[in-house]
Amino acid sequence: MLIDGKAIAATIQKEIKDTIEQLPGRKPCLAVILVGNHAPSQIYVRRKTEACAEVGIISIKRELPPTIAEDHLLQEVKQLNNDPAVDGILVQLPLPYHINPMHVINSIDPLKDVDGFHPINVGKLLSGDRDGFIPCTPLGIKVMLERMEVEVAGKHVLVIGRSNIVGKPMAALLMQNQSFGNATVTIAHRHSTQLKQLCQMSDIVIIAIGKPHFLTADMVKEGAVIIDVGINKIADSSKKSGYRIVGDVDFPNVKKKCRYITPVPGGVGPMTIAMLLQNTLQSFQNQDE
């Protein structure tokens, strides 16, 4: 059965919109910084700012040239840190090679770090402190599984991919001693051996590696839950655009074997955006406390 991330995200966005409509004064505001001409990033940022408009969050978009000096970018972040009208700051990744992403992430005020990438927020997540920001994609997967009433406690969960954006925070969330958590978590990556056996042992597989059709039906346990975070462009001459978007899972074949599966597009992606809106609203509410 499909998990309709798009529909779940729409429900959450409606809840956020209703909350924002009730606010008497100032509205929440998200600042998005986009550096350079990375085409997928341009699309993601457009989706994020459009979603802000749909729910009544003000968005500020700063588009900066690919040649911008790191110092100059840090100044831009600092200005947003000091602006009381800005509740959330997001610097879209990846950044051009001459800029160290750690320097930029570390410069964001942790109280406005709605991506949850600052070491303070990473540390809070790992230590079980609930008042930090949690990265939007793992948070979206958590909310999606909760709404589908998929129990994770005691389950074997395999996370394939160890990125700071998805894999690592996803594993941290799943292993917490909290209401969503208590799973037995394995993280696999490009050096892992016996991946097929690890998959076959897993009740839930979350894959975020950017390789089309990587997870095949023979790898999957009957009745497993499959969460596909991949977004890959592949050639398709039957489409007007000449391409289509697929995930990391061989969807048509894996679908037949599993209990739940997320489609691409329309699965995890919309949930990520809904969580960005939720974190921005949360940040706004924290600032006004």
Q: Helix, strand, or coil here: 25?
A: coil
Q: Does 90 bind ligand GUN (CB under 6 A)?
A: yes
Measured from each CB, the residue nearest to ligand GUN is 93
Q: How far apart are the first and last CA of the chain?
A: 42
Please, how many CA atoms are within 13 Å of residue 80, restricted to the half-sphere of its CB? 29
Q: Does 20 bind ligand GUN (CB under 6 A)?
A: no
Catalytic annotation on 48? Answer: yes
Site for ligand GUN in 91-110 (CB under 6 A): 91-93
Catalytic, out of 87, 113, 115, 203: 115
CB of residue 115 to ligand GUN, shortest distance in Å: 5
Catalytic annotation on 92? Answer: yes
- Of 75-83, 86-94, 121-129, 224-232, the segment contacting ligand GUN by CB under 6 A is 86-94
Q: Does 136 bind ligand GUN (CB under 6 A)?
A: yes
State the binding string over 148-187 for ligand GUN (x if CB under 6 A, else -): -----------------x----------------------
Residue 28 or 138 with smaller CB distance to ligand GUN: 138
Q: Does 248 bind ligand GUN (CB under 6 A)?
A: no
Burial of 80 per CB tally in 10 Å (0-12, 13-18, 19+): buried
Q: Does 226 bind ligand GUN (CB under 6 A)?
A: no
Where residue 223 falls (left for φ over 0; alpha for ψ -120 to 50; beta otherwise) is left
Q: Does 246 bind ligand GUN (CB under 6 A)?
A: no
* Spatial contact of 182 and 219, defined as CB atoms under 8 Å apart: no
* Spatial contact of 262 and 226, defined as CB atoms under 8 Å apart: yes
* Spatial contact of 275 and 139, defined as CB atoms under 8 Å apart: yes
* Single residue of 76, 87, 113, 115 touching ligand GUN by CB under 6 A: 115
Backbone phi, then psi, for 154, in 5-degree steps? Answer: 80, -5
Helices (H) and strands (E) in the chain, counts: 10, 10
Q: Which residues are catalytic?
A: 48, 92, 115
Binding site for ligand GUN (CB under 6 A): 90-93, 115, 136-137, 165
